[in-house]
Amino acid sequence: MCFLPADISINLAGLDFQAVRVLAITGMLSLFFTSDVPEVRFNEIDKLFVGYISLLALAYVLVSVNMFGAFINQAGRFVDSIFLYYFLRHLIVTREDLNKIARVFIWCIIFLSPFIIFEFFYGENLFSIVGRDKISVRGGEIRAAGSFSHPILLGSFAAAVLPMIWSNYKVSRKKRALLASAFCILFVFACSSSGPIVCLISCLILLCFFKYKEHSKTIVRIGFVFILFIHFVREKSFWHFIYVRLSIKGSSTGYHRYNLVEAAIREFKNWWLAGYGDIGPDWHDKYWSWAHAAFTDVTNHYLLIGVKGGVLPMILFVVLCYKSLKILGKYAVSADAVEDQWLWWGATVMMFTHCVTFLSVAYFGQITMLLYMTFAIAAFTKGGPVNEGER
């Protein structure tokens, strides 16, 4: 996930086997050739995931102009998603597996750190030997990306894995976990993007609320009231506040994201049923032609699902995120051992960080593996976490 660029691919008989697809197929083959595959009982999280992926692919194909090409494209994405999720679902079957995941991320971040530091300070991506050779610079700042397809994905990844790494530190008190946490923060700032920095701040605030996690519902209600207050008191909408007023980097594209939400609301009648398919929205010509954009860059994961498949898969995705967040948070509160509370609170904050990140970036490439892993953890938790000896 951390060391294999997602945009490199192998072409066989006209079919592209990108890095994520190779990993998905490899994972499924490993399950197929393993004699002791753990038994997994599928639940509502699994059903929501499969339903969201299936409906999105179906709607995209049905409204596309080139239906055959769209079918090939979506069939590949469908296989990637289902194979990856199925593999991860069978990978996480005990409480100890969550600790193993955290430890793997710790070492990945530590080993990745020299590459990111070198790129940020010297402007050279060492992953160029495996296909990553483009350096992003904005406002005079180098935006480190490492093996990721875009700098904002690196920052989003670092912000999302930080809670799991920090929870491992609170349990183990290992210095390497503390070091990896510091590197995660460094990666967020090295990507030079406002979105990951805001997500990092949200993540750190929630981690500080560990002692008050029993009051999560009250905090959510207060937050909802605050959002309504900001929305109706200000002259402009709440999304103008979060995208434009909360922009940390002066060179960020927060105003584009604000325009994107405004355009989605105005064009709702055109995409709510089944999206735009392979045509895609042409909002850039209609609402911000002054920017001379070549296409409408939908840098919002929720909206991207909507414009690809309509409002129904978007709703399923939101419900999936909500259910996952609720299940993880509930177990973090109810767990008896403090170690378990920290472990699941880390997973809860990771899921919340994903939800915040979706407002400023659409996931693609290897970071989708992290998202699917979070859903798999929620599904495992829904089934009732067990220890290694209880299997």
Instruction: Please count the other Cβ atoms lying within 10 Å of the Cβ belonging to residue 34.
Output: 10
d(Cα 190, Cα 80) in Å, to the nearest integer? 30
d(Cα 191, Cα 84) in Å, to the nearest integer? 27
- Contact (Cβ atoms closer than 8 angstroms) between residue 108 and residue 373: no
Give me the count of residues in the chain.
Answer: 391
DSSP state of 14: T
Task: Look at 94-103, 148-157, 242-251, 349-358 and tell me which has the smallest mean pLDDT.
Answer: 242-251
Is residue 194 very low, low, confident or very high in pLDDT (cuts 50, 70, 90)? confident
Is 46 a residue whose pLDDT tops 90?
yes
Looking at per-residue pLDDT, the higher value among 33 and 35 belongs to 33
Sequence-ordered strand ranges (E) for the chain = 9-12, 15-18, 136-138, 141-143
- Contact (Cβ atoms closer than 8 angstroms) between residue 277 and residue 65: yes
| pLDDT number for residue 231 | 85
Is 142 a residue whose pLDDT tops 90?
no
Angle at 225 (CA atoms; ends 317, 302), nearest 5 degrees: 20
| pLDDT number for residue 388 | 55
DSSP state of 294: S
Is 128 a residue whose pLDDT tops 70?
yes
| pLDDT number for residue 39 | 80
d(Cα 245, Cα 239) in Å, to the nearest integer? 9
pLDDT, tens digit, 9 for 90 and up, residues 300-358 = 999 999 999 999 999 999 999 999 999 999 999 999 899 999 999 999 999 999 999 99
Looking at per-residue pLDDT, the higher value among 99 and 294 belongs to 99
Compute the Cα dihedral for 281, 298, 62, 74 and give only its sign: positive
CA neighbor of 188 nearest in space, from 1, 6, 353:
353
Q: Which residues contact 205 (CB under 8 A, 6 or more apart)?
A: none
d(Cα 50, Cα 64) in Å, to the nearest integer? 21
Looking at per-residue pLDDT, the higher value among 293 and 238 belongs to 238
Is 138 a residue whose pLDDT tops 60?
yes
Is 276 a residue whose pLDDT tops 70?
yes
In the chain, the percentage of residues whose pLDDT exceeds 90 is 55
Is 268 a residue whose pLDDT tops 90?
yes
- Contact (Cβ atoms closer than 8 angstroms) between residue 349 and residue 377: no
